[in-house]
């Protein structure tokens, strides 16, 4: 008895050791496969499969090695041998056809797949498996054929629809793809967001919108309101905004949304700068749903649209391409009309967030477009006094600080910035701006140590939105610490430039550049001189000054910016497209690591398109 027990233990131990050895061998083979060392993996896997022909993992791995080594005959023989004992396994037919396809025998591959599907039970799974093998071999037309047949026998057509739609879009059959997505939506209205995102993924491709739109228009006649949402989106893509407007009106009426859908459409139009249509939609909400909870937002949107239309009409008068410029004073009647629209909101919805945003925008119009500093301060103070918890309070403090700087009251400006940095509820982006601006205030005052303290807080967190500005100022301080007298003059000039006192600033910058040292401070002061000349519309002298900086590129680290600004002057100040392009191209050639490369490329493309259009 003991002998039998001992023999059994010996047998079990030997079997376990053999299993462990096979496992180790398989792991070794897999490591060779992962390293693309297929020749080394091949004999190991052949031995393992010979010893355990029933192990599917050994079979699959060996077949993979054969196909990777392009030993297609060995793969075919291996699979056909496996089929003798597993003739109902659809995956084996898929693999066999795939090998024939890799071998270059497409006809035989399709024959294997077709015959397998004809001989085996007609199930959804079988058609999907063979379709997946066809997709793997990128024979998409054949995959579509199998998926369509599977869909025909399926009790749930959606089971195949997403794959079919994806293949149709890949093969540029956009009408058929849209048909599949619309069928999905007709069966399951909850799929609107997914269906819309899928369609929008290809709708911008050539021919897609034109061939797909009729499909959606056909389905939109159904009672499924989601097709109207989809159709409205198509009209937006087609830029048929009036048609989209009509659809959203119908949706709003059917769902009794009190303008909710129209408001979303109006805000989209505003964001896309389609201001005229946006104003029409806002007016529709206001007139049709006067008591709707969405009407306050619509009234604010309408006022903002009036302001945006004004900005658009007067864009040519505001030289935003210049680093420094004074905004011209505009027709008071036009500005007052916009302000009246905002004031109406503040009276109807006092102490609301729409009213607070209206107050902020009135103040900014007074400050930037009319130059009425004290009146602007009154509106900003209204927000802080009456709604200290408003999301617009931080913006009001920032604008108050700007007004104080214009009034040369730096201490007051600093107190406003401190309010932001020391109030926990204000967003981090506003705090970052305020911290940097505080550093600038102390810089203007000549307190460079205090400036460094505030900059250090920012440089400890380089992910903030003012980090680049903080780095530049910090570098300037560190490289100019032995030239404090010139640095103080430069700082005072920077303040004057912020106050739009460009002539006075120019004189200060000139004091710094007269120093024979060619340090970063003198380089930047030279650039500022040219920028002040440009701000004062001394175009020709600014060009000469920028060109001098460019010619001195070995000594002036701002030569790339000077060259970019030369391009801007030629483009916008002189309307000289040829010299503008030449300046931008010179920048690309001379300064391949410049921060202005992307902007220069964009300008070149735009200008060359203009030239092409003129020739046409």
pLDDT in tens, 544-563: 999 999 998 677 889 999 99
- For residues 612 and 97, give the distance between their C-alpha atoms in angstroms, rounded to a whole number: 52
Chain segment 95-118, per-residue pLDDT in tens:
999 999 999 999 999 999 999 999
Residue 519 counted as domain residue: no
What are φ and ψ of residue 421, in 5° steps? -70, -25
pLDDT at 214: 96
In the chain, how long is the greatest CA-to-CA distance? 114
Residue 609 counted as domain residue: yes
pLDDT at 86: 92
- What 3-state DSSP class applies to 324? coil
pLDDT at 503: 97
**What single DSSP character describes residue 390?**
S
Residue 264 counted as domain residue: no
pLDDT at 463: 65
- What 3-state DSSP class applies to 461? coil
Confidence band, pLDDT 50/70/90 cuts, at residue 448: very high
Residue 543 counted as domain residue: yes
Residue 120 counted as domain residue: yes
- For residues 566 and 591, give the distance between their C-alpha atoms in angstroms, rounded to a whole number: 14
**What single DSSP character describes residue 593?**
T
Q: In whole numbers, what is the pLDDT of the chain averaged over residues? A: 91
> Residues 532, 509: contact at Cβ < 8 Å?
yes
Instruction: Report in angstroms the alpha-carbon separations of 365 from 56, 336, 359, 514.
Output: 75, 9, 10, 39
pLDDT at 221: 87
Give the CA count within 13 Å in the CB-facing half-sphere of 225. 11
Residue 519 has pLDDT above 90, yes or no: no
pLDDT at 11: 42
Listed residues 137, 155, 173: the one ending a domain:
155
pLDDT at 610: 52
CATH number at residue 545: 1.25.40
- Tell me which H or E stretch contains 52: none
Q: Span 468-479, mean pLDDT?
A: 91
CATH number at residue 124: 1.25.40.10
pLDDT at 23: 82
Q: DSSP readout, 278-312?
A: HHHHHHHHHHH-TT-TTHHHHHHHHHHHHHHHHHH
> Residues 75, 103: contact at Cβ < 8 Å?
no
Token readout for 211 is 């061939």
Listed residues 155, 176, 197: the one ending a domain:
155
Confidence band, pLDDT 50/70/90 cuts, at residue 151: very high
Each as own residue / partner, the long-range contacts of residues 197-203 (CB below 8 Å, 24 or more positions apart, any chain) are 198/162, 198/165, 198/166, 198/169, 199/230, 200/233, 200/237, 201/169, 202/169, 202/174, 202/177, 203/174, 203/234, 203/237
Residue 9 has pLDDT above 80, yes or no: no
- For residues 92 and 71, give the distance between their C-alpha atoms in angstroms, rounded to a whole number: 17
Token readout for 197 is 């995102």
**What single DSSP character describes residue 329?**
P
User: CA geometry: angle at 24 spanning 19 and 28, to 5°?
Assistant: 145
- For residues 270 and 306, give the distance between their C-alpha atoms in angstroms, rounded to a whole number: 11
**What single DSSP character describes residue 502?**
H
Question: What is the tally of structural domains in the chain?
Answer: 2
Residue 584 has pLDDT above 90, yes or no: yes
Residue 111 counted as domain residue: yes
Question: What's the count of helices (H) and strands (E) in the chain, helices before strands?
Answer: 32, 0
- For residues 526 and 506, give the distance between their C-alpha atoms in angstroms, rounded to a whole number: 10
Closest-CA residue to 334 (of 297, 367, 309):
309
Residue 542 counted as domain residue: yes
Listed residues 155, 175, 198: the one ending a domain:
155
Range of the domain at 140: 70-155
State the CB neighbour count (10 A cutoff) for residue 352.
Answer: 16
State the CB neighbour count (10 A cutoff) for residue 383.
Answer: 26
Q: Give the predicted TM-score (pTM) of the model.
A: 0.74
- For residues 574 and 178, give the distance between their C-alpha atoms in angstroms, rounded to a whole number: 50
Q: Span 294-299, mean pLDDT?
A: 95
Residue 129 counted as domain residue: yes
> Residues 314, 330: contact at Cβ < 8 Å?
yes
Q: Which residue in the block uniquely carries the two structure tokens 């919805």? A: 349
pLDDT at 16: 44
Q: Span 466-484, mean pLDDT?
A: 89
Chain segment 585-606, per-residue pLDDT in tens:
999 999 999 999 999 999 999 9
């Amino acid at each position: 008895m003991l002998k039998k027990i001992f023999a059994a233990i010996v047998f079990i131990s030997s079997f376990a050791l053999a299993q462990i050895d096979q496992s180790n061998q398989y792991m070794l083979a897999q490591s060779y496969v992962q390293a693309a060392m297929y020749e080394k993996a091949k004999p190991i896997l052949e031995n393992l499969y010979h010893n355990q022909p029933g192990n599917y993992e050994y079979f699959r791995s060996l077949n993979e090695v054969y196909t990777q080594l392009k030993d297609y005959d060995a793969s075919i023989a291996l699979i056909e041998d496996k089929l003798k004992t597993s003739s109902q396994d659809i995956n084996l037919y898929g693999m066999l056809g795939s090998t024939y396809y890799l071998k270059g025998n497409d006809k035989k591959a399709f024959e294997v797949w077709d015959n397998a599907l004809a001989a085996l039970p007609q199930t959804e799974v079988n058609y999907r498996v063979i379709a997946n093998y066809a997709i793997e071999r990128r024979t998409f037309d054949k995959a579509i054929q199998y998926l369509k047949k599977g869909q025909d026998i399926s009790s749930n057509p959606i089971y195949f629809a997403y794959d079919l739609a994806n293949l149709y879009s890949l093969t540029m059959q956009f009408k058929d793809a849209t048909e599949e997505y619309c069928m999905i939506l007709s069966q399951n209205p909850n799929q609107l967001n997914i269906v819309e995102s899928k369609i929008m993924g290809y709708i911008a491709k050539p021919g897609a919108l034109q061939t797909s739109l009729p499909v959606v228009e056909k389905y939109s006649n159904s009672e499924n309101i989601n097709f109207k949402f989809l159709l409205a989106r198509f009209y937006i893509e087609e830029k048929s905004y009036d048609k989209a407007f009509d659809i959203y009106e119908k949706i709003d009426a059917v769902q009794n949304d009190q303008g909710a859908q129209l408001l979303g459409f109006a805000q989209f139009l505003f964001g896309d700068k389609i201001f005229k249509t946006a104003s029409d939609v806002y007016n529709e909400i206001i007139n049709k749903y006067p008591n709707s909870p969405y009407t306050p937002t619509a009234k604010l949107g309408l006022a903002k649209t009036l302001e945006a239309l004004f900005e658009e009409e007067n864009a040519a008068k505001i030289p935003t391409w210049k680093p420094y410029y004074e905004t011209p004073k505009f027709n008071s009647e036009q500005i007052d009309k916009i302000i009246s629209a905002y004031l109406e909101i503040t009276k109807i919805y006092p102490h609301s967030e729409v009213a607070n945003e209206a107050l902020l925008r009135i103040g900014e119009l007074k400050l930037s477009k009319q130059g009425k500093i004290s009146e602007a301060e009154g509106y900003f103070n209204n927000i802080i006094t009456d709604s200290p918890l408003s999301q617009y309070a931080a913006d009001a403090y920032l604008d108050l600080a700007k007004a104080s700087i214009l009034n040369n009251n730096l201490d007051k400006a600093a107190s406003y910035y401190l309010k932001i940095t020391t109030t926990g509820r204000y967003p981090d982006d506003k705090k970052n701006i305020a911290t940097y601006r505080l550093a600038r205030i102390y810089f203007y005052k000549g307190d460079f140590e205090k400036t460094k303290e505030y900059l250090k807080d920012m440089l400890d967190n380089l992910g903030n939105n003012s980090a680049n500005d903080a780095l530049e100022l910090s570098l300037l301080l560190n490289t100019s610490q032995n030239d404090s007298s010139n640095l103080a003059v430069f700082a005072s000039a920077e303040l004057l430039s912020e106050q739009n006192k460009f002539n006075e600033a120019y004189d200060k910058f000139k004091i710094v550049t007269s120093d024979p040292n060619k340090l970063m401070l003198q380089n930047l002061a030279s650039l500022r001189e040219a920028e002040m000349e440009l701000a004062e519309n001394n175009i020709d002298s600014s060009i000469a000054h920028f060109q001098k900086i460019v010619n001195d590129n070995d000594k002036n680290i701002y030569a790339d910016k000077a060259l970019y600004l030369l391009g801007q002057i030629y483009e916008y100040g002189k309307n000289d497209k040829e010299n503008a392009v030449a300046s931008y191209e010179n920048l690309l050639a001379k300064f391949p690591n410049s921060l202005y490369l992307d902007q220069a490329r964009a300008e070149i493309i735009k200008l060359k398109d203009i030239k092409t259009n003129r020739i046409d």
